[in-house]
Amino acid sequence: MPAETAVPETPAIPPLAAGAGGAQAPRRLRSRKCRFCRMNFPPDYKDVSTLQKLCTGQGKMYSRKRAGNCAYHQRLFTTAVKQARILALLSYTG
């Protein structure tokens, strides 16, 4: 007859504290308006300081999601950056 092996008992899992991981009301995220919608003027190629805020140090444009722009103003922003680069107001690289 083989020797019986002892099976270790698993420790009891304590119950969750009140409010920890229970059913909670979902949070509502406030939708932020686009910076150009809030300021009520479109991006302009002559406003270099605003354009630089939405570009990386390497000169790349931030994505729409990262910059927080709406689709309409992101398209205008892209055009403004390209115009500023052509006129040498912004550099193509950092």
pLDDT at residue 21 in the model: 61
- Half-sphere exposure (CA, 13 Å, Cβ side) for 34? 19
Q: Is-above-0.85 flag for pTM?
A: no
H helical segments located in the chain: 35-39, 48-53, 64-67, 71-86
| pLDDT over 90 percentage in the chain | 54
Residue pair 54/84 in contact by the 8 Å Cβ criterion: no
CATH hierarchy code of domain 35-86: 4.10.640.10
| Res 25: pLDDT | 73
E strands of 1-94, at which residues? none
68 — pLDDT class (breaks 50, 70, 90)? very high
- Residue 25 is which amino acid? A
Strands (DSSP E) along 6-92, which ranges? none
